Structures are given as structure tokens and as C-alpha cells.
């Protein structure tokens, strides 16, 4: 499996660990009967979760309820730890749009039994990521992006990163204080409201402010 992130300028970078933020938009927290935690709630997807543009998402057969979650993805440029939010931009390689594909029935059962989310969130092909916008092509030091996701051409999710409870700089500060980040690691910064089911044969499109996008097909065994 090719796990190279592709940048719009042709650069390539091996996809690393994916650090994902739960409940970073109040609308999504509400629709999930959840809340905004006092500190960021982080879960992890492995590199094998990565899927490039025009790829295929292959949920395991034992799940009967698969959901889409569109997110801004921040790609880390180099080794770092204990980074202050004021310095976060110096460790960003670029921005992309990603889809946190979730086995919702498996996740709900794990929540009920107070078990980890690894299977529901980290299965192979659970993290489609678009081509990456190089950070140097974005003049704004604190850019705001529009997110959208469609399924078979029908709009499902639309939101702005201005709605995030914590900025990506704040997230980098927190995550780097707990984990050691490296080149190619990706931070999924949370999803706005409107998550919903995707089924076998669906074509899922996600876009980021008209700057980059990804389209994948769902194929269940």
C-alpha cells in the first residue's frame, strides 16, 4: 500500500501517525450527545489508515453502520515536542482535508462497555486525506478554511474551522506536550455537525475552501 502524502507542489512525504481530536466542534458534540472536554480528547489512527485521492475505503464486514466525518488535517513538517502555540506554524508542512471514517456501531458498543476506540476509528483505509496545500502558499498565519462533504453529490456537511473550540495551533501545543511528533504525522482537528451514514458503492467527496479536495469510493466486502 502506498502511504505517501502528496503535496500540490509535487512534494511527497511518508504518512505517519494520525492524531485525531474528538468533540472540537460544539454542533457535532451536541449531535453525538457528548460535550466539549476540559482538555483535548485524542485518539490515534495508524499510517495504514491513510487513503489517497481516488482511493477506496474498505470498512470491515462486521460493521453495519459506517459514518463520515470531514476534517481539516494539519501535516507536521519535522520532529517536535513541547511546542508553544505561538511557534506551531514553524512545524506545519501543510493543510489538507480528511475524512475520519468511523464504524459507528462498533464505537457505540465500545463506549457502552468503556472500551477503547481503536477498531472503530483506526481500521485500514479509515483516513482518506487529500493532496496537501504547502504551508508556504498560505499567507495568513492563522488561516480559516471552509469544509464540505458530499455523498453521491448530496451535501452532508458544511462548516468553518472558525467554529473549532480549539485552534490547530492550540492542538499542536497540547499534542506535542504528550506525544513526540515527527515529519508526516497528521492532526485531524475535529468535525462539524452533520455526520451520517455511508454505504457500499457510495462516492464521498470532501473539499477545503476550493483549494484541495478528495474523492473516495466505499467498498464493503
What is residue 1's predicted lDDT score, i.e. its pLDDT? Answer: 55
Dist CA 186 CA 23 (whole Å): 17
Give the least confident one: 41-50, 117-126, 138-147. Answer: 138-147
pLDDT digits (tens, 9 = 90+) for 165-221: 999 999 999 999 999 999 999 999 999 999 999 999 999 999 999 999 999 999 988
Candidates 3.90.850.10, 3.50.50.60, 1.10.3720.10, 2.60.40.1260; CATH matching 4-218: 3.90.850.10
pLDDT band of residue 30 (cuts 50, 70, 90) is confident
Dist CA 221 CA 145 (whole Å): 35
Taking the domains of the chain in order of start, what are their residue ranges? 4-218
pLDDT digits (tens, 9 = 90+) for 34-79: 667 788 999 999 999 999 999 999 999 999 999 999 999 999 999 9
Q: What is the DSSP string of 21-37?
A: EES-BHHHHHHTT----
Give the least confident one: 26-35, 51-60, 151-160. Answer: 26-35
Give the least confident one: 106-110, 138-142, 174-178, 201-205. Answer: 138-142
From 111, 62, 79, 86, select the one nearest 221 (Cα to Cα).
62
CA distances to 2, 61, 150, 179, 210 from 105, in Å: 29, 12, 22, 29, 32
Which residues, listed in sequence order, are joined to residue 40 by a DSSP beta bridge?
none
Dist CA 158 CA 192 (whole Å): 7
Amino acid at each position: 500500500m502506498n502511504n505517501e502524502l502528496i503535496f500540490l507542489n509535487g512534494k511527497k512525504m511518508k504518512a505517519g501517525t494520525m492524531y485525531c481530536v474528538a468533540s472540537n466542534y460544539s454542533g457535532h458534540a451536541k449531535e453525538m450527545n457528548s460535550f466539549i472536554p476540559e482538555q483535548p480528547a485524542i485518539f490515534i489512527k495508524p499510517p495504514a489508515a491513510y487513503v489517497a485521492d481516488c482511493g477506496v475505503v474498505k470498512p470491515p464486514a462486521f460493521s453495519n453502520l459506517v459514518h463520515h466525518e470531514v476534517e481539516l488535517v494539519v501535516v507536521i513538517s519535522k520532529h517536535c515536542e513541547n511546542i508553544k502555540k505561538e511557534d506551531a506554524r514553524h512545524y506545519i508542512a501543510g493543510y489538507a482535508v480528511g475524512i475520519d471514517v468511523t464504524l459507528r456501531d462498533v464505537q457505540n458498543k465500545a463506549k457502552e462497555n468503556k472500551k477503547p476506540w481503536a477498531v472503530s476509528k483506526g481500521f485500514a483505509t479509515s483516513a482518506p486525506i487529500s493532496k496537501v496545500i504547502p504551508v508556504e502558499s498560505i499567507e495568513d498565519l492563522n488561516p480559516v478554511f471552509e469544509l464540505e462533504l458530499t455523498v453521491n453529490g448530496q451535501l452532508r456537511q458544511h462548516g468553518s474551522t472558525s467554529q473549532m473550540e480549539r485552534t490547530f495551533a492550540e492542538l499542536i501545543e497540547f499534542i506535542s506536550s504528550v506525544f513526540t511528533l515527527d515529519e508526516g504525522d497528521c492532526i485531524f482537528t475535529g468535525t462539524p455537525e452533520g455526520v451520517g451514514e455511508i454505504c457500499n458503492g457510495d462516492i464521498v467527496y470532501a473539499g477545503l475552501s476550493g483549494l484541495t479536495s478528495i474523492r473516495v469510493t466505499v467498498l464493503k466486502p
